[in-house]
Amino acid sequence: MSDRIINGLGACINSLNQVIGPAVEKTGDSLAREQVALMAKYLEFVTQRLNLSRDRTRYELQQYIFMGVEIQSLFSAKNIEAEILSTHTADAKLCLNNPDATNQELDDASVLLKAEISRITRSLRKVEPELRKLIEQVIHKYSRFIVDIRRAWCKPQNWESDKDAVPELEAILKTASTLLRTL
Amino acid sequence: MTDAKPMHSRTLPQPSIFYPAQVESEKQWRDAPDDSDIQAIRRAFPVEDEFDLMLTRKMQRRALGSYQMPTLEEMSGYVHGFLNAHVNGEFNVKDECWLTGGASKIQFGFTLTWNDPERGLSTDQLVVRMEPAESLNATSRRREFEIIRAIAEVVPVPRTYWMDPDGQWFPEPAIVYGFISGRAKPLMDRARVSGIGTQFSPELRAKLGSQFTRHLAAIHSYDWRNADLSSFNKPKVGTTEASLWQLNRARRVWEEDRGEDMPLVEYVANWLEDNMPVLDHASILHGDYRAGNFLFNEDEGKITGWLDWERCYIGDRHRDLAWATSRLFGSMAENGNTFLVSGLVAEEQFFEDYQRFSGLEIDPKRLHYFRVLNTYQSMVGPIASTYRVVRLGKSHQDIILALVEGAAYPNAHDLLNILEEGYS
């Protein structure tokens, strides 16, 4: 199925570059010319990433589960119960380990877990400094994985001043499949 | 909204406000906020008065539907209507066209022949700069007009003509200013987005680098107290209010626009609130001072004008210094180990010259703070605002904004590094 979608996207790109673009060029409308080029660029990007979208969602969910589990254990050590975090982390684990989980279910699990960790994080200025510091270290550690996969995802868009320093998406995803077994 | 149950009398505190991103749904509350949501966010994150107006306007109009860009003919009609109200006597308009450049504002160029009360019969190339329904930055055309007019005595900027701050003649707020000729990036550097990792030749660097530093020093040391900047809040020296307004502006935008939650963003916002520096000198700040936002004559090696003042405010000079020296906007020299600020001048030289030209000191601790604030802000817009604008089809540049999300992550990467490094 995705093979046909990628074929169709390729046809759109060719149409933009070979038919629509040259026709717009003749009008002298610079805004339209710029947007035709950007459309082709975006469709090329989607073509490159389409088949990896589910893997990326799973990878990010995995990192948030690690984050949730570690924060939960910090709370437990201080005898603080975080029931919603515990529920969303457990649900997310089940979803990630279910090979039949739909993309929507993976997204939903991720949204709920991220929201809860974010809500807790926003309240951290009122938490005792030692605990706060430990939680922030956890967030910092796993945010780096999330940021890195997003940098790798967007690498074809050429935003980085040192593109060679950006990790390759496929390499990150490969590591993820190994880590998955630890959950 | 409570998750924490007391256990042995221990409970988690609640944030004063937090609207979680919603599980993917056809309509999210941020697509059509009601007045109580808008007011709650306003109360939680107080910002400068003019930004408050702009952000509130954005939220109040959000449910009005997607943006329909005017046709060239319609825009021409708005221009004629506006000029009828602002020009005495006959005038002629020609060469009407859309202009490219930037990711957020609509720019329409035309040539006006008219009887200028100061210069007599004149022919001017002009630009209308107008908001779409929503954009990457909800900023004020009134402020932009005021600052360009005031700063014209300090650095080269377009000549200001008129403004329509409330969208009385145009469909959205707009200003009309003079067209400046020049290039935004060197001919040799065509492949990249303007301003991102710009590379100038050593010859151009030698000519433009010093102007780049001098202009920033001049802007920051300009005595603005007698200028008409009525739409700017003036922060008090000896307080943290300038930093708080900026932090709150980003936090408010995050609350209003986002489509996903990110613990990293919350963690950094906490850090920023805990570490706000006390203002030692109130400077005019450009707000987006970097290559790509000035035009230059490549043959003469001369900066012809500074553009994009929409993020201008009065505050701590280290904000501009940290922005100008961002890794995203600079590049490495041919030797591979000298970082060039905006691709123009070695960083050490830049700081040394800046202090000499401005007479203002650079404090590494403040610089560190604003590096964190800038990278934080540079995540909020590309992640949150682009999501909402593109989702709702709110601008003429949705296709650019769909790509701009990618700019957030090099910034996030820098942010994590900056926090790890500290300021010493």
| Two structure tokens written together for B277 | 């520096």
**A147 contacts: CB under 8 Å, gap ≥ 6:** B264, B409, B412, B413, B416
Whether B253 and B373 map to the same domain: the answer is yes
Cβ within 8 Å of A, B 61-100? 97-100
Cβ–Cβ contacts within 10 Å for residue B298, how many? 18
Residue B295 lies in a domain: yes
Residue B50 lies in a domain: no
On whether the CB atoms of residues B362 and B283 are closer than 8 A, the answer is: no
Among chain B residues, CA nearest to A112 = B23
Whether B273 and B359 map to the same domain: the answer is yes
Dihedral sign, CA of A24, A27, A33, A39? negative
Cβ within 8 Å of A, B 121-160? none
Whether B216 and B360 map to the same domain: the answer is yes
Sequential pLDDT tens for chain B (424 residues): 444 444 444 677 788 899 999 876 778 999 999 999 999 999 999 999 999 999 999 999 999 999 999 999 999 999 999 999 999 999 999 999 998 877 789 999 999 999 999 999 999 999 999 999 999 999 999 999 999 999 999 999 999 999 999 999 999 999 999 999 998 878 766 545 556 777 899 999 999 999 999 999 999 999 999 999 999 999 999 999 999 999 999 999 999 999 999 999 999 999 999 999 999 999 999 999 999 999 999 999 999 999 999 999 999 999 999 999 998 888 889 988 899 999 999 999 999 999 999 999 999 999 999 999 999 999 999 999 999 999 999 999 999 999 999 999 999 999 999 999 986 5
Give the best residue of B75, B264, B274, B341 to mutate against chain A (max A CB count within 10 A). Answer: B264
Instruction: Check B267 against A158: CB less than 8 A apart.
Output: no
Whether B297 and B233 map to the same domain: the answer is yes
Single-letter code of the amino acid located at A75 = F
Whether B257 and B311 map to the same domain: the answer is yes
CB contacts of A45 in chain B (<8 Å) are 403
Residue B28 lies in a domain: no
Q: How many domains, chain B?
A: 2
Among chain B residues, CA nearest to A86 = B3
Distance in angstroms (rounded) separating the CA atoms of residues B327 and A39? 28
Pick left, alpha or beta for residue B255 (phi over 0 → left; psi -120 to 50 → alpha; otherwise beta): alpha
Whether B285 and B356 map to the same domain: the answer is yes
pTM for this one? Answer: 0.94
CATH number at residue B122: 3.30.200.20
Whether B167 and B209 map to the same domain: the answer is no
B411 touches chain A (CB under 8 A): no
On whether the CB atoms of residues B384 and B334 are closer than 8 A, the answer is: no
Q: pLDDT of A20-49, one tens digit each?
A: 999 999 998 888 999 999 999 999 999 999
Please state the φ and ψ torsions of residue B316, each to the nearest 5 degrees.
Answer: -85, 125
Whether B157 and B229 map to the same domain: the answer is no
Whether B172 and B217 map to the same domain: the answer is no
Cα diameter, chain B: 83
Whether B207 and B174 map to the same domain: the answer is no
Q: pLDDT of B337-347, one tens digit each?
A: 899 999 999 99
Whether B211 and B294 map to the same domain: the answer is yes
Whether B146 and B234 map to the same domain: the answer is no
Among chain A residues, CA nearest to B420 = A140
Cβ pairs bridging A and B (under 8 Å)? 164
| Two structure tokens written together for B410 | 């090099």
Residue B53 lies in a domain: no
Which pLDDT band, with edges at 50, 70 and 90, does A152 fall under? very high
Structural domain boundaries, residue B371: 202-421
On whether the CB atoms of residues B308 and B235 are closer than 8 A, the answer is: no
Residue with tokens 């030698």: B206
Among chain B residues, CA nearest to A166 = B410
Instruction: Check A127 against B97: CB less than 8 A apart.
Output: no
Question: Would you list the domain boundaries of chain A?
Answer: 2-51, 53-180
Cβ within 8 Å of A, B 343-362? none
